[in-house]
C-alpha cells in the first residue's frame, strides 16, 4: 500500500511541478499555523502582525535597528498602551503606562510575579526551575527574597557600617581621579571599579585596587557588551543565533565565584560571618529547608547580588556626569548646596540628603531621564489573568515599559529635557511622585534600591565636592539621550576633565 501511495504522489509531483508543490506546502503550513495560533478563548490586546515561526521579530529588528529605548514608542501610538507581541513561539504583553504596570505588578501581583524561566536564555542560565532571588518563582522565591533582604540588613544596608565603606570608596575614587591632573580621561572604568568594590565588600568581603581590574568585573563587562540578542533572547530561536561566547563567559563567571567560595571555606568560622559567601557556606551546612536553601539557589543569590549591584548603579553615575558636563548651571547649583551643607572638611552622609533638596532632585532627574533598566525585569503569568479587560493566558511574558512611563508628557512635563527643578515645590521641598518607578514596583521591585540610592548620593556628592567636570577642549559634549541599550542602558564612552575645586 505504501509503495502505491509513493508512486501516486511521485506521478502527481512530476505532473504539476516542484514549485507548485512548494507553494501548496507553504500555504498548507501557513493555514495550519493560523488555525493553531487563533485561540477564541484568548482575548489578546492589539499588536503588530505576527508571521509564522518568527512572530514579530522582523518588525522589531527593523524598528529597533538603532537599539534605543525610544525605538518602540511609535508602536504605542499605533496599537495603544497595552500591546500583544509574539516573538517566535513566545507571547508577550507590553505595558506602556504607570496605571497598567500598577495593575499588573501590584494589584495582580499574585498571578504576574513569576519569571519566564522556560525561555531558552534564562533556562540556560539558571535551569528550567529557576534559581536564586532574581529567577526563582513561587513560595521558594518569596522565602529566598526574604532571606536576602534580611541578610543585606545584617551586612550593613541602611546602617553606618556600609555607609562608611561607601564614603571610603568615594575618597579612593577622588584620589584616583586627581592623578589625571585636570587632563581629559574616560571616567567609565573608574566608576565601574568603585561601584564594584562596594558590592564586592558585601558579597566577597574584599575590595580591589583601581590598578587591578577584578576578573569577575572584566568578565561581566565583556558579557554586557556582547548582549546582542535583543528580542531574540526571549525565543527558542536563540539557541541557533545566540553567540556561544556569551554562555562561555557566564560559565567562566560561575567558575570565578566558585573559586571565591572555595577560598572562603579554607578560613570559614561559623561564629564569624564576614560576608555573603560565608553566609552561603553556613546556610548550606545548616541544611535549612533543604528544598529551598539548596547550594544552587544560594549560589545564584551571590551571582544575582553581584550582577544587580554593579552595572546598574555604575551606569547611573556615568549618566550623572554626562548631565553635569552638559548642564554646568545644574552642576554649579549642586556644588553650592554641597558647600553650604557639607563644606570641604568631610564626606557626605545620608543624613545630609534631607537638607540638600536640589542635589536629591538632580539625582531623581538622572534616574528619570536616563532610565538604566528601560524595560525592568521580565514578569510572567503563573495562571490566566485579566489586564485592562484582556484575558492573558498562563505562561505569557509581561514587560513594563519603565522608559515610556518616565518619558510620558502626561506624567512629566517636557520629559526629554534635563530639568531637576521639576522635582521641587515652591518652598524648595522635594516632590514625591508615584510615577517615578526606575526600580519598578510590586513584589519584584529591585531589592538593591536602598543600596543604589545610597551609593548614587554619596558618590556623586563627593565627586562634585572635589571637582568641576567639563567637556575637554575640542571635543563634542557627550550624548545625553542615546547610548548602548542592552540589558541595561549605558552612555556611549566619553571623556571629561575633572578640575580640582
- Return the domain boundaries, the chain: 2-37, 57-500
Pick one of 1.25.40.10, 3.30.450.20, 1.10.630.10, 3.30.465.10 as the CATH number of 57-500.
1.10.630.10
Global pTM value:
0.88
Note the residue count of the chain: 501
Instruction: Assess contact for 253 and 220: CB atoms under 8 A.
Output: yes
DSSP 8-state code for residue 491? E
Q: Give the end-to-end CA distance of the chain in Å, rounded to a whole number.
A: 93
Residue 446 annotated as part of some ligand binding site: yes
HSE-up (13 A, CA, CB side) for residue 106: 11
Record the cell numbers describing residue 6, joined without a space.
Answer: 509513493
Per-residue pLDDT of the chain (501 residues; tens, 9 = 90+): 545 444 544 554 455 555 554 554 444 445 444 444 445 567 899 999 888 888 888 877 766 556 889 988 999 999 999 999 998 889 999 999 999 999 999 999 999 999 999 998 889 889 989 999 999 999 999 999 998 888 887 776 555 688 999 999 999 999 999 999 999 999 999 999 999 999 998 888 888 888 877 788 888 777 776 655 577 778 877 777 777 777 888 889 889 888 888 899 999 998 888 888 888 888 888 877 878 888 898 889 988 888 888 889 999 999 999 999 999 999 999 999 999 999 999 999 999 999 999 999 999 999 999 999 999 999 999 999 999 999 999 999 999 999 999 999 999 999 999 999 999 998 889 999 999 999 999 999 998 898 999 999 999 999 999 999 999 999 999 999 999 988 889 999 999 999 999
| 206 conformational bin, left if phi > 0, alpha if psi -120 to 50, beta if neither | beta
> Nearest to residue 398, comparing CAs of 141, 134, 112, 79?
112
**Using H for helix, E for strand and C for coil, what is the string for 315-348?**
HHHHHHHHHHHHCHHHHHHHHHHHHHHCCCCCCC
HSE-up (13 A, CA, CB side) for residue 108: 23
Record the cell numbers describing residue 64, joined without a space.
Answer: 529597533
Amino acid at each position: 500500500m505504501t509503495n502505491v501511495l509513493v508512486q501516486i504522489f511521485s506521478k502527481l509531483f512530476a505532473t504539476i511541478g516542484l514549485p507548485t508543490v512548494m507553494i501548496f506546502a507553504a500555504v498548507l503550513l501557513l493555514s495550519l499555523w493560523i488555525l493553531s495560533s487563533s485561540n477564541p478563548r484568548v482575548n489578546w490586546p492589539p499588536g503588530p502582525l505576527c508571521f509564522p515561526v518568527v512572530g514579530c521579530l522582523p518588525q522589531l529588528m527593523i524598528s529597533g535597528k538603532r537599539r534605543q529605548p525610544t525605538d518602540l514608542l511609535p508602536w504605542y501610538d499605533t496599537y495603544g498602551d497595552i500591546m500583544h507581541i509574539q516573538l517566535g513561539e513566545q507571547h508577550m504583553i507590553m505595558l506602556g503606562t504607570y496605571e497598567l504596570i500598577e495593575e499588573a505588578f501590584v494589584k495582580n501581583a499574585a498571578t504576574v510575579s513569576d519569571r519566564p524561566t522556560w525561555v531558552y536564555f534564562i533556562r540556560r542560565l539558571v535551569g528550567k526551575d529557576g534559581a536564586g532571588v532574581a529567577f526563582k518563582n513561587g513560595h521558594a522565591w518569596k522565602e529566598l527574597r526574604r532571606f536576602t533582604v534580611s541578610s543585606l540588613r545584617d551586612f550593613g544596608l541602611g546602617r553606618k557600617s556600609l555607609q562608611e565603606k561607601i564614603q571610603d570608596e568615594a575618597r579612593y575614587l577622588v584620589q584616583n581621579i586627581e592623578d589625571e591632573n585636570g587632563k581629559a580621561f574616560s571616567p567609565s572604568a573608574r566608576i565601574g571599579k568603585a561601584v564594584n568594590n562596594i558590592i564586592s565588600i558585601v558579597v566577597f568581603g574584599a575590595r580591589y585596587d583601581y590598578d587591578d581590574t577584578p576578573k569577575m568585573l572584566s568578565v561581566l563587562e565583556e558579557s554586557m557588551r556582547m548582549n546582542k540578542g535583543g528580542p531574540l533572547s526571549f525565543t527558542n530561536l536563540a539557541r541557533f543565533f545566540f553567540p556561544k561566547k556569551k554562555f562561555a563567559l557566564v560559565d567562566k563567571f560561575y567558575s570565578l565565584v566558585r573559586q571565591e567560595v572555595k577560598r572562603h571555606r579554607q578560613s570559614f568560622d561559623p561564629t564569624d560571618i564576614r560576608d555573603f559567601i560565608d553566609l552561603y557556606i553556613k546556610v548550606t551546612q545548616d541544611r535549612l529547608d533543604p528544598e529551598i536553601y539548596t547550594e544552587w539557589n544560594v549560589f545564584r543569590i551571590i551571582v544575582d547580588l553581584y550582577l544587580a549591584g554593579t552595572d546598574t548603579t555604575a551606569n547611573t553615575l556615568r549618566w550623572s556626569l554626562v548631565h553635569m558636563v552638559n548642564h554646568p548651571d545644574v552642576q554649579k547649583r549642586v556644588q553650592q548646596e554641597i558647600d553650604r551643607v557639607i563644606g570641604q572638611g568631610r564626606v557626605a552622609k545620608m543624613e545630609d540628603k534631607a537638607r540638600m533638596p536640589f542635589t536629591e532632585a538632580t539625582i531623581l532627574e538622572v534616574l528619570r531621564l536616563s532610565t538604566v533598566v528601560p524595560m525592568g525585569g521580565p514578569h510572567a503569568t503563573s495562571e490566566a489573568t485579566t489586564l485592562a479587560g484582556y484575558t492573558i493566558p498562563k505562561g505569557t511574558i509581561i514587560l513594563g515599559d519603565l522608559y515610556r512611563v518616565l518619558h510620558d508628557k502626561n506624567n512629566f512635563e517636557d520629559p526629554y529635557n534635563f530639568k531637576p527643578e521639576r522635582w521641587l515645590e515652591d518652598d524648595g521641598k522635594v516632590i514625591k511622585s508615584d510615577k517615578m518607578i526606575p526600580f519598578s514596583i510590586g513584589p519584584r521591585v529591585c531589592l538593591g534600591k536602598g543600596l543604589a540610592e545610597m551609593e548614587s548620593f554619596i558618590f556623586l556628592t563627593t565627586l562634585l565636592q572635589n571637582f568641576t567636570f567639563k567637556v575637554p577642549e575640542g571635543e563634542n559634549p557627550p550624548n545625553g539621550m542615546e547610548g548602548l541599550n542592552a540589558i541595561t542602558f549605558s552612555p556611549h564612552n566619553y571623556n571629561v576633565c575633572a578640575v580640582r575645586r
